[in-house]
Amino acid sequence: MRIHFIVGILLIAATLLVTAAFYPRLPDSVPIHWNTDGYADHYAPKWSLLVVNPAIMAGVLALFFLLPWLSPRHFEVDASRPTYLYIMLVLLGVFAYFQGVLLWVDVSGRLNASRAITGGVCLMVALLGSALGRIKRNFYLGIKTPWTIANEDVWAATHRLAGKLFVVAGLAGLTLLAFGVRSSSILFPLLAAAVIPVIYSLVLYKHLEHQGKL
């Protein structure tokens, strides 16, 4: 467990160091959001790059450190310790990647930030999907609907399905990006992968309820 948090701290430190190295070359006002056509539509002072993403990463690290203590009995997130630590590192890695995209765009201007960030989201979804089926029932991670929380079998079946859908949707999104599909169109498979498990958990719960298996 300790090594995962050491890696997390190193990722945050590396993000800060790289940002500090690029800082003198940044314009006073930097783009931080782009529309689906790849044009910047929101700007912020360059000092925000030293604060926002590193602060979010530090918050993620602190939250995952506290999760075992926050979890109520019989719903301990610690029961899925390797999985939740893997999820923590995926999230930290993605935020570090986003910071790299911002810096590269602001310094070189030779990158379609909208597509690069969408690609990062797709990769994150696929990586998270590979872990969803291993998450034990808890209140913090996973597909948390009233029906998955209420029944362990519904939780397990829903997360097996969600894991497969997330991996497929993430890889499909990356493939579509490679073929030049607009970033906005790639949201549809990602949204489908998020919504279908929610509906499935309700249908499965009611099916088990009807059969008297709850």
Q: How confident is the model at residue 76 (pLDDT cuts 50, 70, 90)?
A: confident
SS3 136: coil
| Residues 101 and 49 sit within 8 Å (Cβ to Cβ) | no
**In this predicted structure, what is the pLDDT of residue 110?**
75
Over range 28-48, report the average pLDDT. Answer: 83
Rounded Cα gap, residues 101 and 201, in angstroms: 36
User: Measuring CA to CA, which residue among 134, 136, 129 is closest to residue 197?
Assistant: 129
The predicted-structure confidence for 98-145, as pLDDT tens digits, reads as follows 999 999 988 887 778 888 999 999 999 999 999 999 999 999 999 999
CA distance 94 to 100: 10
Q: Which 8-state DSSP code applies to residue 23?
A: G
Which pLDDT score, from 0 to 100, does residue 1 have? 64
Using the predicted structure, report yes or no on whether residue 4 has a pLDDT greater than 80: yes
The type of residue at 9 is: I
Mean pLDDT taken over the chain: 92
Please report the pLDDT score of residue 41 as a whole number: 79
Largest pairwise CA distance in the chain: 67
User: Lowest-confidence range among 24-38, 47-61, 149-163?
Assistant: 24-38
DSSP assignment, residue 135?
A: P
**Could you read off the pLDDT of 143-189 as tens digits, one per residue?**
999 999 999 999 999 999 999 999 999 999 999 999 988 888 898 99
